[in-house]
Amino acid sequence: MPATGNILHIGMSLAATWLTGRDRAAGPQDRDPIAADIELCRMSEAARLDFMFLPDTLFADPRGLRGGAGIGPGGLDPTLRLAALSQHTRQVGLLTTVSTTFVPPYILARQLQSLHWLSGGRAGWNIVTALDGQRNFGLDDMPGPEEKYARAAEATEIVRRLWASNPAASADDAPPAEPIDHAGRYFRVAGPLNVRMPPTDRIPLVQAGASETGRSFAAQVADAIFASTPDKEAALSLRRDLRRRAAAHGRAADDIVVMPGLNCYLADSRAEAEELFMETHAGIDRTRRLEMVRQMIGLDLTDWPEDRPIRAADLPELPARLRSRTHSGLLRRMILRDEPTLAELLRRPESAGSGHWRIIGTVDDAAEQIAEWHRDGAIDGFINVPGGGRDSMRRTLQELIPQLSERGLFRRDYGGDTFLGHLRQRRA
* Model pLDDT for residues 138-194, shown as the tens digit of each residue: 988 889 889 999 999 999 999 999 999 999 876 567 788 999 999 999 999 999 999
Dist CA 411 CA 225 (whole Å)? 20
Dist CA 349 CA 14 (whole Å)? 19
pLDDT value of position 284? 66
**What's the average model confidence in pLDDT over 259-285?**
87
Alpha carbon distances (Å) from 410 to 41, 149, 236, 302, 422: 18, 34, 20, 45, 11
Query: Could you tell me the pTM of the whole model?
Result: 0.86
Radius of gyration over alpha carbons of the chain, in Å? 21
Residue 421: alpha-carbon gap to chain centroid? 19
Dist CA 259 CA 241 (whole Å)? 14
pLDDT value of position 319? 72
Alpha carbon distances (Å) from 360 to 262, 265, 272, 366, 387: 11, 5, 9, 8, 10
Dist CA 229 CA 236 (whole Å)? 9
149 annotated among ligand-binding-site residues:
yes
pLDDT value of position 23? 57
Continuous H helices in 16-77:
21-25, 33-46
Q: Is 378 helix (H, G, I), strand (E, B) or coil?
A: coil
Using alpha carbons, select from 149, 148, 143 the residue that is nearest to residue 217. 149
211 annotated among ligand-binding-site residues:
yes
Q: Which residues pair with 3 in a beta bridge?
A: none
Using alpha carbons, select from 18, 60, 68 the residue that is nearest to residue 39. 18
**What's the average model confidence in pLDDT over 250-259?**
90
Candidate ranges 248-257, 297-306, 342-351; pick with highest mean pLDDT: 248-257
Pairing assessment for the beta strands 188-189 and 182-183 based on DSSP bridges? antiparallel
pLDDT value of position 212? 84
pLDDT over 50 at 343, yes or no: yes
Phi, psi of 120 (to 5 degrees): 70, 40
pLDDT over 80 at 6, yes or no: yes
56 annotated among ligand-binding-site residues:
yes
Whether residue 228 contacts residue 327, with contact meaning beta carbons closer than 8 Å, is answered with: yes
Which pLDDT tens digit goes with each residue over 376-413?
A: 999 999 999 888 788 899 999 999 999 999 999 999 99
Phi, psi of 70 (to 5 degrees): 80, 20
Q: Is 356 helix (H, G, I), strand (E, B) or coil?
A: coil
pLDDT over 50 at 1, yes or no: no
**What's the average model confidence in pLDDT over 183-209?**
95
265 annotated among ligand-binding-site residues:
no
DSSP code, position 411: -
Dist CA 331 CA 297 (whole Å)? 8
Residues 6+ apart with CB under 8 A from 139: none
Residue 156: alpha-carbon gap to chain centroid? 18
- Residue 3 binned pLDDT confidence (cut-offs 50, 70, 90): very low
Structural domains in the chain, sorted by start: 9-264+360-424 (3.20.20.30)
pLDDT value of position 52? 97
